[in-house]
Amino acid sequence: MARPRAGAGLLVALLAFVVAAAAAAGGGGRKMASHGEGTDLKASPGAPAPAGGSAAQFRGQARLPRFATPRRYELRLRPDLVACTFTGSVAIAVVVSAPTRFLVLNAADLSVNRASIRFQSLAPTEVVFFKDDDVLVFGFSKQLPLGEGVLQMDYNGTLNDQMRGFYRSKYQYKGKERNMAVTQFESVDARRCFPCWDEPAFKAKFKLTVEVPSDLVALSNMPVANSTFAGPIKTVSFRESPLMSTYLLAVVVGLFDYVEGMTSKGTRVRVYTQIGKSNQGKFALDVAVKSLDLYKDYFDTAYPLPKLDMIAIPDFSAGAMENYGLVTYREVALLFDDKSSSESSKQNIAITVAHELAHQWFGNLVTMEWWTHLWLNEGFATWMSHLAVDSFFPQWNIWTQFLDGTTTALKLDALSESHPIEVEIHHASEVDQIFDAISYEKGASVIRMLQSYLGAERFQKALASYMKKFAYSNAKTEDLWAVLEKETGEPVKDLMTTWTKQKGYPVINAKIKGNDMEIEQAQFLSDGSSGPGTWIVPITSGCGYDTQKKFLLKLKRDKMVIPSQCSDRKKGGNFWTKLNINGTGFYRVKYDDELAAALLNALEAKKLSLMDRIGVVDDSHALSMARQQTMASLLRLLYAYRGETDYSVLSHVNSVTVSVARISVDATPSLAGDIKQLLIKILLPTAEKLGWDPKKGESHLDAMLRPLLLTALVQLGHGKTINEGIRRFNIFLRDRNTPLLPPDTRKTAYLSVMQNVSSSNRSGYDALRKVYRESAEGEERLNVLGILPSCRDKGIVLESLNFIFTDEVRNQDAYILLRGVQIEAREIAWNWLKENWERISKIFSTSSLLGDFVKTVVPLFTSNEKAAEISKFFATRTKPGFERTLKQSLENIRIGARWIEGIRSEPKLAQTVRELLGKP
Ligand code: BES
Ligand code: ZN
């Protein structure tokens, strides 16, 4: 399970930056930058005011000035793994291309030795640090010579515990705790490791040297050029890298084993793990080797580096990071253990590896010009990873599962607090929060939409020429459209700009008039209102899968002719039409009553594809939430999925049932029990068919469906399933290898156990804690962690939440525990969050983690009063990193409140529930 990307960002909780003035500098001694002020250390206070204004002009700017740009970095790092500090020295070949007396670059949390700073032979007369901007300005007494010169300096820093910049991670070796040194630079944290031009467009070559204890392994982007030993310390220098962005640089130092493979073109690939775990790297290795081969062919461009290493890091804030040639992962996103890993974890590993390796081309070789174009990285890697995994594991139906992402994005993008795919970035502190479902899943979805409009072959050809045109360089969104237009002759830019430069998406209202279909677009918002946006919409329609009608909707409303084979209204005839075939379009459809009834018939007659079965239920859920459709009609539709057996379809049906079950608790408490019974009735037949025990030779998808359905039943309070889960858990407690509880269903059993736990009956909870303690790290433990707070008992919920603060839970995993909080315990969790906020915001100051706390607890509520209370609480506590997440969560509460009002005013709801429950 990859970490959910936060949509929350980097905290501005910066430690003080110290510009250290060494003895000889003649500067003003050590000064701490005060908040919002530059620290001005004038070497010679009486120096004449030089041309080009003052250093203050560089404060508060979105981007660094471009009059001086780096070409090549020579970087030397000496980490001290015991003291958790490091020293560094950097020599940067800089090209000065316009008259200036300044050099302006980024740094954060580093102490630069003031006396060591030189540009060629010049020492700066002025060193100013703008702490809020991470900007370091060196002012010289006279204009710098145009052309290339070398800027150098020495500095030191801390190997921090914040999982960003140059940090330490802990691991066990021979029963003892050890530290490793790791980097995580995306988005804007390379500056925490060395002073640099820390923006993606400043590509440069890197020549790195590290001095580390002789017994440790040191890895970086490039292969080792040579190592020299001097007693306990070795100096490892790496080969010079090709042109690349700072956020992709990486270093890892620790004790590791590895497994190795080779691509068909002879590129060496390794997976590094903790000592003794290298077997668990084999699956990822296999996917990696295949991915490199596939992408090379797809882009018609060789893998750009001499080697690829992938490594599992015990403390890691994202799910994985695509550092050029040295990809870092959370352990659960890389390591697969036959005995303890589940099928869904296998799939996650495959997707994650394929995603990061897609970045080696899309992102690393061709890099976004600025963070506004982040989606070019993340949307494409997400889309490409599905293309690759589909080719390696066709039986996984991964394109059908892709719709999980599309529907997640549709949900987020139906908020007025959403943002366009191309989002303006005014400050580095805003970057981290755009790693969200808009950049990833909406980005990937509009790529799929475009590909299906242009055709796979033309699309691939154009991407290959884009890759060649911008290799070792940067591109903007428009650059991609220009190449696609040139290759295909289609109006790609006009079409796509409507999708990437404005937020939201349309709902297509479809009405049938004779043989004509009238279609009209309006921006869809979950709060029931309609936004001002209009799009160029690639509409597809059909009543079967042999032929499809394509239509480019450019106006607000238009008309399409329905093919005769789809409009035979006579008895026994074929009368139905589905728009947005296979969900390739990023929009929703609302049908008039006649079309909706016909579509329901087609669904019941099993005429719809898997993807269309997903689209229909997801649109219907969204329309119901926005009160454009009743809950009763949503339930009728859900009922048509009784007996459905496909994993992907049921996973969407399940998300809808979870949402319906939740809202009914608040909307119609007296009916909530019956609604749960109805939802059980829908899911039970297939769950019973699957049972608890894996069948020999069953498919990957069935293996994933089993825990999905059983867990849903436990959550809905299905007694028989709960009891069976408890029974199997008890056997598992005595025998951890029992075939009765293989990895796939363990979580379901744990959840069953929690259903009966209370402060006075806590043996199940204690047993789970024991399982947690005794499990090796990895998926096994996380399964328990995600379940611990899943009960209503105040004492137990609090005890499990406080578990976050202990050494037993890594900070990176806290969000998993939080996700286990049930709606019944929301008040307990909210009060806990308020009471502990100060502590939490200190420990989890890396904002994406902090955003997780907001995102998991806040949306559990559904009343306007609560939204007001939460909003008030955060009024003085919000940080740029999770501001948007908070607003989105609050908007979701208000949408829930409005939905509740609608449900309460439905006259026929109870009757519908009873009628469906009574059906044989
Ligand atoms: N570039 C990201 C990692 C990242 C995320 C860095 C957020 C900085 C902030 C990486 O390519 C990525 O997208 N990782 C995903 C996993 C992937 C399978 C979707 C992640 O970390 O969730
Ligand atoms: Zn990515």
pLDDT tens for 386-406 read 999 999 999 999 999 999 999
Ligand 1, atom 18, lies closest to the CA of 352
Mean pLDDT of 212-229: 98
How far away, in angstroms, is 373 Cα from ligand 2 center? 13
Give the 3-state DSSP-derived string for 206-235, with helices as H, strands as E and coil as C: EEEEEEEECCCEEEECCCEEEEEEECCEEE
Query: Would you say residue 6 has pLDDT above 60?
Result: no
Residue in the block written with tokens 């700073």: 117
Q: What is the pLDDT of residue 47?
A: 39
The predicted pLDDT at position 850 comes to 87
Q: Is 441 in the pocket of ligand 1 (CB under 6 A)?
A: no
Nearest C-alpha to atom 5 of ligand 1 is from which residue? Answer: 318
Ligand 1 contacts CB of residue 321 (under 6 A): yes
Least reliable range by pLDDT among 9-13, 271-275, 572-576, 607-611: 9-13
Alpha helices in 64-179 (DSSP H): none
Catalytic residue among 126, 199, 331, 356: 356
User: Tokens 């990859």, residue?
Assistant: 2
Report whether residue 79 contacts ligand 1, using a CB cutoff of 6 Å: no
pTM listed for this prediction: 0.94
Over residues 41-63, the pLDDT tens digits come to 333 434 333 447 899 999 999 99
CB of residue 5 inside a 6 A radius of ligand 1: yes
Ligand 1 pocket mutation, candidates 435, 445, 816, 850, criterion most atoms within 8 A of CB: 435
Residue 207 has pLDDT above 90, yes or no: yes
Beta strand 111-113 pairing with 18-20: parallel
Ligand 1 atom closest to residue 322's alpha carbon, by position in its atom list: 11
What's the confidence (pLDDT) of residue 38? 43
Phi-psi region of 175 (alpha: psi -120 to 50; beta: other; left: phi over 0): left
Q: Comparing 180 with 568, which gets the higher pLDDT? A: 180
User: Ligand 1 pocket, 352 CB below 6 A?
Assistant: yes
Residue 417 catalytic? no
Contact 1 CB / ligand 1 (< 6 Å): no
Ligand nearest to the CA of 183: 1
The CB of 435 under 6 Å from ligand 1? The reply is: yes
322 lines ligand 1 (CB under 6 A): yes
Q: Are 418 and 504 in contact (CB under 8 A)?
A: yes
The per-residue pLDDT for 432 is 87
Percent over 90 (pLDDT), the chain: 89
pLDDT at 377 over 90: yes
- Res. 777 pLDDT band, cuts 50 70 90: low
Alpha helices in 99-204 (DSSP H): none
User: ω before 609 within 30° of 0 (cis)?
Assistant: no
pLDDT at 847: 61
pLDDT surpasses 70 at 913: yes
Ligand 1 centroid to Cα of residue 322, in Å, is: 8
Asked if pLDDT for residue 11 goes beyond 90, the answer is: no
- For residue 317, which atom of ligand 1 is closest to its CA? 21
Residue 16 has pLDDT above 60, yes or no: no
For the CA of 4, the nearest atom of ligand 1:
22
Q: Is the CB of 3 under 6 A from ligand 1?
A: yes
pLDDT of 475 reads: 98
> Residue 272: CB partners within 8 Å, gap ≥ 6?
217, 219, 252, 256, 257, 258, 278, 281, 309, 310, 311, 312
Report how far ligand 1's centroid is from the alpha carbon of 1 (Å).
Answer: 12
What's the rounded Cα separation, in Å, for the pair 882 and 762? Answer: 36
Q: Taking a C-beta distance cutoff of 8 angstroms, is the pair 181, 81 a contact?
A: yes
Q: Which of 183-192, 290-299, 772-781 shows the lowest mean pLDDT across its residues?
A: 772-781
466/479 Cα distance (integer angstroms): 8
Q: Specify the long-range contacts of residues 214-219, CB closer than 8 Å, at least 24 apart.
A: 215/255, 216/81, 216/253, 216/254, 216/255, 217/252, 217/253, 217/254, 217/255, 217/256, 217/272, 218/251, 218/252, 218/253, 219/250, 219/251, 219/252, 219/253, 219/272, 219/309, 219/311, 219/326
Give the position, in ligand 1's atom list, of the atom nearest the Cα of 348. 18
Q: At what angle do helices 647-667 and 398-412 cross, to 10 degrees?
A: 30
Residue 433 Cα, ligand 2 centroid: separation in angstroms? 14
* Distance (Å) from CA 819 to ligand 2 centroid: 23
Which atom of ligand 1 lies nearest, measured to the CA of 352? 18
Tell me the per-residue pLDDT of 630-687, one tens digit each, with 9 for 90 and over.
Answer: 999 999 999 999 999 999 999 999 999 999 999 999 999 999 999 999 999 999 999 9
The residue whose C-alpha atom lies closest to atom 10 belonging to ligand 1 is 321
CA of 234 to the centre of ligand 1 (A): 32
Residue 319: CB within 6 Å of ligand 1? yes
Secondary structure letter of residue 48 according to DSSP? -
Interior angle at CA 901, CA 898 and CA 907, nearest 5: 140
Which residue has the least CA distance to atom 3 on ligand 1?
321
Tell me the C-alpha distance between 596 and 600, whole Å.
6
In this prediction, residues 219-234 reach a mean pLDDT of 98
Å from CA of 377 to ligand 2 middle = 6
User: CA triplet 569, 572, 577: central angle to 5 degrees?
Assistant: 50
Mean pLDDT (the chain, rounded):
93
User: What is the average per-residue pLDDT within 418-442?
Assistant: 94
| Ligand number nearest to the C-alpha of 250 | 1
Which ligand does the CA of 348 lie closest to?
A: 1
Nearest ligand to the C-alpha atom of residue 327: 1
Is a pLDDT exceeding 50 seen at residue 31?
no
> How would you classify the pairing of strands 165-173 and 126-130?
unpaired
Q: Is 378 in the pocket of ligand 1 (CB under 6 A)?
A: yes
CB 377 within 8 A of CB 359: yes
- Distance (Å) from CA 223 to ligand 2 centroid: 23
Ligand 2 center from residue 382 Cα (angstroms): 7
Distance of CA 309 to the CA centre of its chain: 22
Residue 378 CA to ligand 2 centre (angstroms): 5
* 187 within ligand 1 shell (Cβ under 6 A): yes
SS3 778: coil
Q: Whose CA is nearest to atom 17 of ligand 1?
A: 352
The answer, yes or no, to whether any atom of ligand 1 lies below 6 A from the CB of 2, is yes
Cβ neighbors of 368 (< 8 A, separation 6 or more) are: 200, 374, 376, 377, 474, 475, 476
Summarize the confidence of residues 739-760 as an average pLDDT: 97
Return the C-alpha torsion angle 271, 275, 276, 282, nearest 10.
0
Q: Residue 232 in contact with residue 213, Cβ under 8 Å? A: yes
Ligand 2 ion: residues within 5 Å (CB): 378, 381
Q: What is the pLDDT of residues 146-172, one digit of tens each?
A: 999 999 999 999 999 999 999 999 999
